[in-house]
Structure 1
Amino acid sequence: MDLRLPRVFLHGLLPVAVLFGGAATLPSRAQGSSDAGSKGAQVYCFMRGAGNNHQVSWDAAYALIKRQSASLFKTSPEHGAVMITEAVVQNPGTYPDCGRFLGYLYAKPQADAGSATSPDSPRPSSGMTREQRYSY
């Protein structure tokens, strides 16, 4: 009678898939990312369609994306904008008339003639410094 342990038990280690009941039960990063992007797109498009301005809609959608993302790392604002865009482009019927708002996700704030040009100075459109904007 052979009492050797199966290969998965060698060296006292179990593969992660065995510990969690198989790889199918583990959420994939891509799935979590697309879910967060879809939810962010829902919030952004609904708020814009209801008459809210870009900044308010973006702040709400980005906050949701940061909390819903399955990644170990925080989602950057640039990646959040891409996630919303991908969700809208992949399902245009789900987000009717939202395509006209997507450009605002990528628009650079216009500097006033009298504003300072320092990278740390507040931007006229948001009133935030560079450090505040990226302090996620």
Structure 2
Amino acid sequence: MVITLAFLGLYLANVQWDANSTQIGALLYLAKIHESLIVISLSNILYHRLRYHMLRAEGVSYGFITSPFQINNPLYLFSKTFRSSCKASCQTWSDHVTAGLVVLSVVLAILAAPRTGTSMLPRLNWWAAAD
């Protein structure tokens, strides 16, 4: 969150710089680290939710247990494991929230990769021209 807010502040402050190839390479490396932190955070949220559900009497479906480890795989949402878990365990409102959280986490993890790379690269001449 701090990295994202820092870059948002730079864009709102109209900070401009002409980055050389070394700086662009470093920024792309940092973008990959930023993407990894986002995916780790989403996996941790999902893992915590599943641990909480394991303490309940109903437990959690086996297909949901593997979901924090499949968060970078968009095909997981179409897998037999995920679909059967949704059919078997989605009987209460809490189970629907868990299934929705899995879908949201996978979608956010997929969108994190291209957005971090494009948002961290400096671009000249996209600000409004001075009068």
Question: Of the two, which has the highest radius of gyration?
Answer: 1
Higher relative contact order (CA 8 A, sep 6+): 2
* Structure 1 or 2: more helix by fraction: 2
Shared topology, TM-score over 0.5? no
